[in-house]
Amino acid sequence: MPHARRPAPLHEHGDFSDRRDLDVTAPPTLVPAQAQSSVMAHPDRSLWCLSTPATCMILGADEAGALTQRYWGPALPATDMAQFGDVDRLRWTSTFQSPGEIEEQLPFDGGHRWGVPSLQVVFDGGVRALELAFAGADTVEYEDGHGLLVRLVDEGFGFGAALHYRVRHGTDVIERWVELRNGHSKDVRVLRADSGSWLMPDQDEYRISSVHGHWSGETQLERRTLPTGEYTLTSRHGTTGQQSNPWVMVDDGTATEEFGTVRTVALAWSGSWRLTAQRRPDGAASVTAGFGHDGLEWSLHPGDALTTPSSLGLHSEGGFGAASRSWHDYVRRHVLTHPQEDRPVLFNSWEATEFDISLEGQIALARKAADLGVELFVVDDGWFGSRTHDAAGLGDWFPNPDRFPEGLHPLVDTVRTLGMGFGIWVEPEMVNPDSDLYRANPDWVLHWPGRRRDELRNQLVLNFGRTDVRQWALRSLDDLAGAYSLDFLKWDMNRPFTQAGWPDRADNHDMVWIEHTRGVYSVMDELRRRHPGLRIEACSSGGGRVDLAIMSRTDQVWTSDNTDSLDRQTIQHGYSQLYPAVTMGAWVTEEVNALTGRRVPLDYRFHVAMAGALGIGGDLDLWSADELDRSREHIARYKAIRSTVQHGDLYRLGQAPGRDYSALEYVADRQVVLLSYDPHRSLSRAPRRLRLRGLDPAARYRDTETGTEYSGAVLMGRGLLFNEHQTLRGWNNTRFSAADYASSLLVLERLAG
């Protein structure tokens, strides 16, 4: 079991001897005084206020020893804090319904509680009746903010729960996690250990927003009325998963992109997880989230501690758009390790070659990519071991001796001579049974004694909870990064857990669901420490590992294996609800998409991919001279706008992306970027205008292509004609779309003065 620690959960480090006592926090951020956060305790020590620049949360301990949420909303004067000392419940109650439990910060399974628990344990003798009570609180100072530590104790069994809160400067996001400690003389079984519950204050209606999906159809945004009862999102895959993502937004059913109160709860965890929203028939709703899923249990031996990942909450008054911009800002300020870097334009070899890799072929592709203006060349699957197909070689991380008899040096040298960085694809968590690694270490994989080992994609999952597996993985990747001075690592994970046993931990098998993920984190963290110039992209059969925790140790994620531009618009729309463009890998591939067979013009493909970290993934040998020339122009234009796209404020305009006309507006410093899309031609719609957002109404802006000047007031009030240069004019000057897949890039420069 892990030892006690005081973590900074988004940067959860560990070495390779199972120590868990490192506290690594993000560097301090310089922000204006009004953007400072604070934690204040009321003189009677029963109320605490967590203040962010625009919001606050008030917590209180009641006479029964429960810690409850009294307020979460817009900032209040400090003098108003005392008004929340008394609990004022208007909801009805009965012997079958306890109105107070939904307000608790850590509702547990015990006493007169019948709602969704955040914590369930079983003591010696099968006792399930937990009796936690308030035992004190202290304020905590962090380098980049302030915190609160609240202690709850079950005196009868010596079991404790420490509730941690942190507010960082310059953000309205509140971060929470829980540390459990077994002070009993016998083992305690933990059935559920969430990172805390968030009360959604009473309102007339509750609407919940989330994303669902599947392979090549990730992050499909869905908004629906939250039903009375319990609504659970989860992943049982061992990764974040493609079926859902660990966050929800809750509003009263009237919020829009620009207006309305929206509250978000997100979980920073890359393994299996569970998030449950409950709406009670007597009013109020809450959201609890944590690692693990139903059916698991973890044993805490005497003296052991278990720390949960971070759960994060955000209150926003500016609709879904403002909520997204706040999350994007939080990720850039407090999650990403290199937030200010512009992500390079990359080329990835997979769709061009698949497993048919050769030194000569890769060099030829590198020359063409460099000629287009590509800055990073990435060799995908097939460069290592006996990996000429997908049934062999995973785990043998050395260059294929037939394809690269001198190693990768001739290719790396050529790529660097061409002025590009060099990267490779790896899948460290997987192994093919047909590999030297598996033949030497068959017990390294997840398995149960006496049970079969089911293969998926001809591979098994290595147990990164094991010290020897982590040491091997670090050594292999460290050798590669050092030998070739790697600039980039595409870290893939292509199958879920099966037969998830850990024979060496027979008394605590299910810890593998936690320790595998922590092991992946520790290898990534140590690898980056040893190679500070290395950048990592997280991938899991596309967007199967996308969350705030993996983003704290990588630089971008592969959003989806589906590169069809129309499908990508809906995928990227759902992704953008929480995660910023700087983290979103997006490629331009073939005119006829390999997965969908849909034919999309080159301009449209580029304009969709320009909304994130641009990459090229097609077979350049098949592209015409005109396509290559046009691609060169697009890449040059992207480089001129990418800082704004990747680091600016995003405004989503128009209708449903990929289905109707839409646009993405990015605003940063003195540049405004507008990417507009109209996938389907129609004569039934009147001319449309796009009213821009986030501009200074008193400033003037110049179209960098035509030289036309506008005031910010006109651009936001009257707007611009949608895709004007892509329309035709007929009889009586009627405007209509020229063709399907009309798109455009407009750049405005804010004039001085």
Phi, psi of 103 (to 5 degrees): -85, -10
C-beta of residue 50 within 8 angstroms of C-beta of residue 167: yes
Report d(CA 113, CA 237) in Å as an integer.
30
DSSP 508-561: -GGGHHHHHHHHHHHHHHHHHHH-TT-EEEE-BTTBSS-SHHHHTS-SEEE--S
Report d(CA 315, CA 53) in Å as an integer.
11
C-beta of residue 693 within 8 angstroms of C-beta of residue 719: no
Token code pair at residue 65: 């020893």
Q: Given its phi and psi angles, is residue 499 left (phi above 0), alpha (psi -120 to 50 degrees) or beta? A: left
Torsion sign across C-alpha atoms 198, 200, 206, 208 = negative
C-beta of residue 298 within 8 angstroms of C-beta of residue 511: yes
Of the candidates 426, 443, 579, the residue with the CA atom closest to the CA atom of residue 494: 426
C-beta of residue 458 within 8 angstroms of C-beta of residue 451: no
Mutual angle of helices 512-530 and 467-484, in 10-degree steps: 30
Residues 6+ apart with CB under 8 A from 532: none
DSSP 224-268: EEPPSEEEEEEE-SSSS-SSB-SEEEEE-S---SSSB-EEEEEEE
Token code pair at residue 287: 């959201």
3-state secondary structure of 484: helix
Report d(CA 333, CA 340) in Å as an integer.
9
Residues 6+ apart with CB under 8 A from 84: 47, 58, 60, 70, 71
How many CA within 13 A on the CB side of residue 225? Answer: 5
Residues 6+ apart with CB under 8 A from 714: none
Residue owning tokens 């006792």: 127
Report d(CA 343, CA 615) in Å as an integer.
10
Of the candidates 544, 548, 580, 536, the residue with the CA atom closest to the CA atom of residue 560: 544
For residue 50, give the H/E element and its range: strand 47-51
C-beta of residue 384 within 8 angstroms of C-beta of residue 396: yes
Residues 6+ apart with CB under 8 A from 590: 351, 618, 619, 622
Report d(CA 114, CA 93) in Å as an integer.
12
CB 224: neighbour CB atoms within 10 A? 11
Of the candidates 298, 283, 285, the residue with the CA atom closest to the CA atom of residue 251: 285
C-beta of residue 196 within 8 angstroms of C-beta of residue 178: yes
Report d(CA 434, CA 645) in Å as an integer.
44
C-beta of residue 176 within 8 angstroms of C-beta of residue 310: yes
Annotated catalytic residues are 492, 561
Angle at 58 (CA atoms; ends 57, 64), nearest 5 degrees: 140
Torsion sign across C-alpha atoms 529, 532, 534, 539 = positive
Q: What is the DSSP letter of 463?
A: -
Mutual angle of helices 625-647 and 359-372, in 10-degree steps: 70
Beta-bridge partner residues of 470? none
C-beta of residue 29 within 8 angstroms of C-beta of residue 144: yes
